[in-house]
Amino acid sequence: MKYSREIAQNWTFKQADTDEWLPASIPGTVHTDLLINKKIEDPYYRDNEKKLQWIDKKDWEYSTTFNVTADILNKDKVQLDFKGLDTYADIYLNDKQIASTNNMFREWQIDCKEYLKAGENRLQVYLHSPINTDLPKLEALGYALPASNDQSENGGLGNKRVSPFARKAPYHYGWDWGPRFVTSGVWRPVYLQAWDKARIVDVYFRQDKLNLEKAELTAQVELDILNAGKYTIKISDQKNSIDVLHQLDEMEPGNQTVEIPILINNPRLWWPNGMGEAYLYNFDVRLIDNNSILDTCEISIGIRTLELVREADKNGKSFYFKINNKPVFSKGANYIPNDVFLPRVSPGKYEYVIKSAADANMNMLRVWGGGIYENDIFYDLCDKYGIMVWQDFMFACSMYPGDDAFLENVRQEAIQNVQRLRNHPSIALWCGNNEIDVAWAHDLPVGWGWKEQYDEKTRAYIWNSYDTLFHKILPAVIDENDPARTYWPSSPLAEWGERASYSSTSGDMHYWGVWHGKERFDQFKVKKARFMSEFGFQSFPELETVKKYTAAEDRESITTDVMNAHQRSGIGNERIREYLSWYYKMPSSFEDMLYMSQVLQAEGMKIGFESHRQAKPYCMGTLYWQINDCWPVASWSGMDYYGRWKALHYFAKKAFENILVAATVDNDSLKVYIVSDEYTPVNAKLSLVLMDFDGTEFNNQQIDVEIPVNSSKVHFSEIVKDFLKGNSKENVVLSLSLIHDDKKLTENVFYFDEVKDLDLPKVSPKLSVSSDDNGYRVEISSEQLAKNVYLSIPRSIGQFSDNYFDLLPGETKVVYFSGYAANRTFSAEDIKFKTVRDTY
């Protein structure tokens, strides 16, 4: 049986030019080890970031000892397997160098038998400063490559942006939502592995044919044969009574790949969240020699068809995913790493984030190209919860070197990660990079001003390097290793032949007119795309989160030095204040400003969500920027660093329900859309009730509707003036709901004026708290309209089933709280209640 042991104990580390060894954690980073040993203060607290920029300019050493028995040394082969090294590392075993590494995204397997001895062995990892390693590359090149989000000034480097030269997470160099901590470390586990005769290198389950009656698969098993012989491979899924025994002919030494057919009758399909069960087959694969198990591995797969459909139509060309022959409207968000210090992200945190996405009715996350190829658990959870993954390669907002060594390094990185992830049914698309094509604008006169910095010869060389990497190397890796999936060179993009286009009639689109362009939220109704893969708006986290990174004096206003340090968009805090003045009365306190920023973000993004869905099937995807944070910060996120749902996440949950009812005003006409992602028709009653803020009704219409499958349709239209029946816009609210079999399928509200012009009443709600099998039950009612009711429990982390909602006059609403509360039992008095009217 193959021997595998994690080397996680007895690690120490030191700054290379000192003699003080300190305890270390592996996996880990230099920053977190310094923090644990109290050599630095919390990097995320106040403005400590700027005090810690010296760390990335130093070299660091890690060391441990481990014992090896004679039995291990007698194995035919022994390897050290480093799952991840960040980034420039020399590996020593018993004082002899056995390897050097230069890519955070690669796994490094090192033959080491000849360097081992029986008894105690010493393993050392010497980590070179990523800054000092790459500065000479910049100087040798003779010119700077574009790197728009490299915050070199914060790192004390002036305009020397070295991030394009390092194959490490780009966001470590800073971003407009993240700090600059250029980490080093043994960031993924280390294993000692040993085996005799042969081992399993890789197993790829290729889907050859699928219909309702059967699924025909091929298990492509790569073996490392040390000793020639006849081996057996056993593949089984006990739950589904699948048991395949495959006898191999005489196998010669070397890497050999065998293909084993597998037939599954009446297959259970994998579906995205909201479309059906995300069913998984769990295969156990064993390599056997004379009834002795040499090696095993476990792999879960989902059986489904998935394609990106790009067909010419009267508007341009479609861009949508079809799964199991059914078009799917993609609903979700862009995803960034959950921490700057990656080993701190626990399995529980991964589960929380992915489950929160599923709970918000999302079916897709885009793993953005400025982060990392995520840990296996991320994709396992996406498989489990039915979350499709748009997977970027790790390139973003920069041009890159084109020398042979760099390109070959990237090619190996791509091969490893494609092979690692290709069995996951959640992977929907491979995308080359984030926003580079549109920034360079090779085929357009104007992009981000990058190419204008260079003479014609240099410009041609930089573009050729890009073209080689993203139009040749990466698609070739996909064709060879995962040919069933589509490769998309860059996001956003219209066509391969029309690169750098912001076309709204073909391809995917990033729309930043709202926020960066200072366009109003109503532009979401106009700027529609075939697939909106980025758009967003910022907000602050709530007060409980802000308290964790600030002192009391930092919370005097949103413009204190510390609040600005946790706002990485240069226009950010002022942009939030400016938009807020357009739509709301200005809040009177710091805490109210935090709350109102979230209301502003959520209500604005709601317009985008609803507009994109109403444009179906022209538009077939809405992925907002961004679902999560990597540190506590004001940003575009729907959940803050500590996992607290912002108003945006609650609004996304509502807007992404399979059936949506929503109102809009178009050319003085009130139009009510019903959007359905269901694949069965629904007969329902559309309820439209116009009332004032005390509950007096002026217009009550109950309309029988038939909702077609997978559709968006206007089911009601009337001139606004006629519908209002002489009432003032600032005094009424429209309540919309769909009722089926006396059950409310969905509901919404609509206002005919900006909130700052509404005559909102001061309210005194009634709250009661009880508990049942679903958790803490909160019942809330009000005699008058309560706008954007925000419920919170101090010193708690968790979420309500609904929050930031509008409570209609006379309505009683029940919500549930789940999560951890510091006071494990609580009453209505423990719940804080806030509405828009309370802020002025």
Is residue 744 domain-shared with residue 775, that is, in the same domain?
no
Q: Determine, yes or no, domain membership for 309.
A: no
pTM score, whole prediction: 0.97
Higher-scoring residue by pLDDT: 796, 425? 425
How confident is the model over 784-798, as a mean pLDDT? 91
pLDDT in tens, 91-103: 999 999 999 999 9
Is residue 105 domain-shared with residue 74, that is, in the same domain?
yes
Q: What are phi and psi of 789, to 5 degrees?
A: -65, 120
114: helix, coil or strand? Answer: helix
Is residue 394 domain-shared with residue 466, that is, in the same domain?
yes
pLDDT band at 820 (very low <50, low <70, confident <90, very high): low
pLDDT in tens, 687-725: 999 999 999 999 999 999 999 999 999 999 999 999 999
Domain range holding 381? 326-653
Is residue 210 domain-shared with residue 256, that is, in the same domain?
yes
Place of tokens 């990058």: 450
Alpha helix (H) residue ranges in 656-736: 720-724
How confident is the model over 401-419, as a mean pLDDT? 99
Cβ-based burial of 634 (10 A; exposed 0-12, middle 13-18, buried ≥19): buried
> The CATH number of the domain where 593 resides is what?
3.20.20.80
The confidence score (pLDDT) of residue 797 equals 75
Lowest mean pLDDT among 423-437, 493-507, 616-630, 772-786: 493-507
The confidence score (pLDDT) of residue 500 equals 44
Pairwise CA distance, residues 105 & 84, whole Å? 7
Is residue 464 domain-shared with residue 553, that is, in the same domain?
yes
Pairwise CA distance, residues 230 & 252, whole Å? 9
Place of tokens 């597998």: 262
Sequence-distant (6+) residues with CB within 8 A of 118 are 68, 69, 70, 73
Is residue 567 domain-shared with residue 434, that is, in the same domain?
yes
Is residue 647 domain-shared with residue 663, that is, in the same domain?
no
pLDDT in tens, 47-93: 999 999 999 999 999 999 999 999 999 999 999 999 999 999 999 99
End-to-end CA distance of the chain: 70
Pairwise CA distance, residues 613 & 331, whole Å? 9
Q: Determine, yes or no, domain membership for 319.
A: no
Q: Determine, yes or no, domain membership for 472.
A: yes
> The CATH number of the domain where 60 resides is what?
2.60.120.260
Alpha helix (H) residue ranges in 119-263: 130-141
Q: Determine, yes or no, domain membership for 483.
A: yes
Given 711, 732, 757, the domain boundary residue is: 757
How confident is the model over 321-333, as a mean pLDDT? 98
Sequence-distant (6+) residues with CB within 8 A of 456 are none
Is residue 665 domain-shared with residue 691, that is, in the same domain?
yes
pLDDT in tens, 340-384: 999 999 999 999 999 999 999 999 999 999 999 999 999 999 999
The confidence score (pLDDT) of residue 830 equals 87
Total domains present in the chain = 5
Cβ atoms of 333 and 536 within 8 Å: the answer is: no
Given 757, 792, 817, the domain boundary residue is: 757
pLDDT band at 4 (very low <50, low <70, confident <90, very high): very high
The mean predicted confidence, pLDDT, of the chain is 96
Cβ atoms of 337 and 362 within 8 Å: the answer is: no
pLDDT in tens, 543-594: 999 999 999 999 999 999 999 999 999 898 999 999 999 999 999 999 999 9
Higher-scoring residue by pLDDT: 301, 498? 301
> The CATH number of the domain where 279 resides is what?
2.60.40.10
Q: Determine, yes or no, domain membership for 321.
A: no
Is residue 637 domain-shared with residue 695, that is, in the same domain?
no
The confidence score (pLDDT) of residue 623 equals 99
pLDDT in tens, 746-768: 999 999 999 999 999 999 999 99
- Vertex 630: Cα angle to 155 and 564 (nearest 5): 60
Sequence-distant (6+) residues with CB within 8 A of 222 are 200, 201, 202, 203, 204, 255, 256, 257
E strand or H helix that includes residue 49: none
pLDDT band at 824 (very low <50, low <70, confident <90, very high): low
pLDDT in tens, 451-499: 999 999 999 999 999 999 999 999 999 999 999 999 999 999 987 554 4
Q: Determine, yes or no, domain membership for 317.
A: no
Is residue 500 domain-shared with residue 623, that is, in the same domain?
yes
Q: Determine, yes or no, domain membership for 541.
A: yes
Q: Determine, yes or no, domain membership for 314.
A: no
Is residue 105 domain-shared with residue 224, that is, in the same domain?
no
Is residue 181 domain-shared with residue 246, that is, in the same domain?
no
Given 617, 638, 653, the domain boundary residue is: 653
